Amino acid sequence: MSNALKVRPKAITLNKAEGYLEIIWSDDLVCRYPLGHLREACPCVECRGGHAKMGLEHAPQDLLKLVPKRSYGLKDLSPVGNYALQPIWDDGHATGMYTWEYLRLLCPQITRSDESDSG
C-alpha cells in the first residue's frame, strides 16, 4: 500500500447519468467506481457497524462483488482538504469520507496484490 500514499488524483469526474465516479491518478491509472458499489463500501462508522470494523484492513476485497441494496445516486461530491472526498448520497447519507488511500484500495481496475507489489 505504500504506493497509494504517493499517488493523488489528477482528475475526478462524476458521471451521474451513467452512475460512476472516475479518478485518473497521478500515475495515470484510471479507476471507474460504480456509484452503487461505492455507496455499499461507505467507510463511516454507521455503515461499518462500529469503530472496531473501520480502517483500511476492513475495506472490501473486491468492490465489484458488493451487491448494492438499490440504485444509488449522488446529490453532491465535495473535497475534504487534500486527502478525501465526501459524497452526499441520494438516500440522505453524508457521513462517509473516502480518503485517497481508501479509493485507491477500492479501485476495480487493480487487485490488492497489484497495489502492494508496486510500492
The predicted structure's pLDDT at residue 115: 52
pLDDT in tens, 28-64: 999 999 999 999 999 999 999 898 888 889 999 999 9
Contact 5, 105 (CB under 8 A): no
List of residues 6+ apart from 78 with CB closer than 8 A = 85, 86, 87, 88
Overall domain count for the chain: 1
Q: Read off the CATH number of the domain in which 79 is found.
A: 3.30.2020.30
**Average pLDDT over all residues of the chain:** 89
- Residue 35's domain comprises 2-117
Q: Among residues 111, 117, 115, which one has the least CA distance to residue 4?
A: 115
| Gap between the Cα atoms of 64 and 62, Å rounded | 5
Edge-first strand listing for the sheet containing 98-99? 74-80, 84-89, 98-99
